[in-house]
Structure 1
């Protein structure tokens, strides 16, 4: 029997684009069906600013207001299912601080548990999803052994970058017979030598030897937004690179969130093991 004293959240970082919230809701509904417990689609920030008219008339939920509303229903225990690949600062810094604020505000019964993130050593499933999306793009375009630039957002946290590098190694092994090379890169980075681990940037990788002709940009992004969505930042970087080269061709894969069945299976495992 489901524990009605605990609320389950599928949590993303949040976006000002409606498509991100709609995808989060669809994944939460799938996860609910799989584990037999209601899962709420909640963003850490931003999404509540989206016009509900773009969200089937239902306002997006964000973390702190959602918890407060649940408290009014007598719910004090929460399990957070992160739609994050690795230990982002949003999870290990910002979210715990908000929980501490609520505890210090007199909510002594509050308990928040965070399940493991999507990528784990020895679990190839995120890389396998990405490999499928690369192969789908190769089949669509008819390219033969293109290069793959596996792109994430970029991060100030070395631990998150380590996750990117792990996925890139896994992806390279899985695609060894399908592509010429796989290289991890970032969409953007902070200034300073201490953040050099984000290199190379996608804009600098495109056009380099091995990446000067047919390049598939494999998107290590869970959902759409201003970075990874239609006409987003990554698409603009690719377009600018093509303008500077007569022979460069680029194509972006779909996002990991598009592999809903496989992604929700990973989330269900994280739920059961939390």
Structure 2
């Protein structure tokens, strides 16, 4: 039987840099696996004007699946570019796959595991490497920031990564704290605390040099050099004269990510 077609799937973004980054990852992974890997997004990216992304329109997952089923392809391996078990993977994706399978009974989709595993510290090694590149003093502090999720299990991934990064960096920095870029306001989402804004306003963080370790995969509205995290850092520096921040590179900029993706792909084969 032919091998399933691999689809590398991110959440999606309206920012061209995110789609271009996803395509580059798919190309690198295909070269490593020796099999085609096609980049698609769950949502949003198909609204980007094609001329902003090299002339080829971005695709979103369910129209992409229907298009390929119409050509006779029925077996797929979905490789999620997600740190943890977000609602997109545990709710939106299986619910819509069930509806699509009801329409196309021959459809067969395998879902590979998300990126983080408790017994695999390679994501933490990526973040630690990026932090080391920015350290200028053992007095530097590290704020490991993710997007912020309404799913507690995703925030647990953030917290676990912070613990692993702390173990890897040891006494080369003064402190490491997990935080989120944003959160829903209701009390039941307090597990996202602290926000990056609040952490940078708290002593001694607000009078330190803080390395903002980016737990983001690809550039976009949040993680780009002019994105939301950068704006939070600039605003905090204006409020606190002694504060200095330095953002790290993104996770997808490290070669270990391709190895992790290849292993998650292999686990679903």
Question: What TM-score does the superposition give when structure 1 sets the normalisation length?
Answer: 0.95
Determine whether 1:55 maps to 2:53: yes
Structure 1 counterpart of 2:222: 227
Query: C-alpha offsets along residues 84-128 of structure 1, whole Å, 9 cap, x if unaligned?
Result: 100111111111121122123x21111211111111012110000
Matches within 5 A, 1:27-176: 27-104=25-102, 106-138=103-135, 142-176=136-170
Tell me by how many angstroms 1:5 deviates: 5.3
Give yes or no for contact 1:207–1:248 (8 Å, CA) kept in 2.
no
Give yes or no for contact 2:13–2:220 (8 Å, CA) kept in 1.
yes
Unaligned runs of 5+ in 2: none
Structure 1 counterpart of 2:197: 203
Unaligned runs of 5+ in 1: none
Give yes or no for contact 2:146–2:179 (8 Å, CA) kept in 1.
yes
Query: C-alpha offsets along residues 189-219 of structure 1, whole Å, 9 cap, x if unaligned?
Result: 1111111000000000003123121001101
Correspondence for 2:260 among 256, 261, 266: 266
Give yes or no for contact 2:146–2:215 (8 Å, CA) kept in 1.
yes
Moved over 2 A (4+): 142-145
Helix, strand or coil at the partner of 1:84: coil
Tell me by how many angstroms 1:143 deviates: 3.7
State how many pairs are aligned.
Answer: 267
Tell me by how many angstroms 1:177 deviates: 2.3
Query: C-alpha offsets along residues 116-142 of structure 1, whole Å, 9 cap, x if unaligned?
Result: 11110121100000011111122xxx3
Structure 2 counterpart of 1:243: 238
Determine whether 1:182 maps to 2:176: yes
Tell me by how many angstroms 1:38 deviates: 0.4
Helix, strand or coil at the partner of 2:246: strand
Tell me by how many angstroms 1:242 deviates: 0.7
Give yes or no for contact 1:16–1:49 (8 Å, CA) kept in 2.
yes
Give yes or no for contact 1:10–1:82 (8 Å, CA) kept in 2.
yes
- The verdict on how the C-alpha distance between 1:54 and 1:143 changes in structure 2, with shifts beyond 3 A counting, is farther
Give yes or no for contact 2:125–2:168 (8 Å, CA) kept in 1.
yes
2-structure distance, mates of 1:175, 1:98: 42
2-structure distance, mates of 1:206, 1:26: 34
Helix, strand or coil at the partner of 1:177: helix
Structure 2 counterpart of 1:13: 11
Give yes or no for contact 1:5–1:74 (8 Å, CA) kept in 2.
no
2-structure distance, mates of 1:215, 1:230: 16
- The verdict on how the C-alpha distance between 1:210 and 1:176 changes in structure 2, with shifts beyond 3 A counting, is farther
1-structure distance, mates of 2:130, 2:139: 15
2-structure distance, mates of 1:177, 1:128: 16
Aligned CA-pair RMSD: 1.1
Give yes or no for contact 1:119–1:163 (8 Å, CA) kept in 2.
yes
2-structure distance, mates of 1:249, 1:208: 13
- The verdict on how the C-alpha distance between 1:35 and 1:5 changes in structure 2, with shifts beyond 3 A counting, is closer
